[in-house]
Amino acid sequence: MGNKRNELRENTNRSDGPRADLHLHTTYSDGARTPKEIVQRAHAANLSVIAITDHDNVGGIDEAVEEGKSFGIEVVTGVELSVALNDKDIHLLAFFFDHNDKKLLDYLSFFRYERLKRAERIVQKLNDINIPLKLDAVLDQAGVGSVGRPHIASALMEEGLTGTYHEAFLRYIGAGAPAYERKYQLSPVEATQLITQAGGLSFLAHPGKYTTDLELSTLIKSGLDGIEVVHPSHNEARQEFYRGVVDQYFLLECGGSDYHGGKKNDENVLGVYTVSLDIVEDMRNRLFS
């Protein structure tokens, strides 16, 4: 079994054989593609299993599940939540939960409301520094999705108030910039408990971006089920490091492209950052064995 798993891990980013991408965003948060379009693009990328992991929103899952049936693609329930640790914004991925769970839906509705209030505060701060952005322009960018800073950046571009998407973050709305506003966040324990009571598994998302070893240890103790090992921000050395952590603490691993499309310029990641179906089966077994 150990040799088989090592062989699977060595092939993590290869596209041959059935593969899964467990980190995809749609228009229900800050992605550029609808759930149907995501499934169609996943099919073109030869993916067999995908997870829709919109920020604070599960509204796109049913649409993706239905479209997946037409293409023979399994769509796993997913969501991405923000938690606060040492004044840092840390993201958790959840999988295989009941996306109709009332308590979860109530929390997500509250999170989306807080996102809207945050957007209002950011727009006011922009106006205070003579950047004449209107909230309606931001909401037009968000559409049915959970409004967030990517929509504000896009609105700034569309209105000709900034040159590029990334400039919007650097000059105006990124951490430390004049119009930055913190968002409402759960504690790691609260988030993992919310996911667990809905019948799901919780994973630390892309830890290589910002998580220290001490913070990683704290997050594991909060009740994590696993770690996102494969991610565009993780090179091979990072992947092997997190696999070592997974083995040490008897955790699960997941992975995916963190695909958004559109202005994030990540069209080339679909089908590249993937995990084997054995990884998905390990997750299922943890829940149902």
Instruction: Return d(Cα 23, Cα 80) in angstroms, integer.
Output: 9
Q: SS3 for 267?
A: helix
The mean of the pLDDT values for the chain is: 91
Residues in CB range of 197: below 8 A, 6 or more apart: 101, 103, 104
pLDDT of 202-240, one tens digit each?
999 999 877 888 999 999 999 999 999 999 999 999 999
Element at 62 (helix H, strand E):
helix 61-71
pLDDT at res. 264:
64
Dump pLDDT digits (tens) for 65-81: 999 999 999 999 999 99
- CB 181 within 8 Å of CB 188: no
User: Which of 11-15, 74-78, 177-181 comes out lowest in average pLDDT?
Assistant: 11-15
Write the CB contacts of 258 (distance below 8 Å, at least 6 apart in sequence): 23, 24, 25, 205, 206, 231, 232, 266, 269, 273
Residue 94 phi, psi (nearest 5): -120, 145
pTM of this prediction? 0.84
CA distance 252 to 227: 7
Superfamily of domain 2-101+198-288 in CATH is Metal-dependent hydrolases (3.20.20.140)
Q: What is the mean pLDDT of residues 90-106?
A: 97
DSSP 120: H
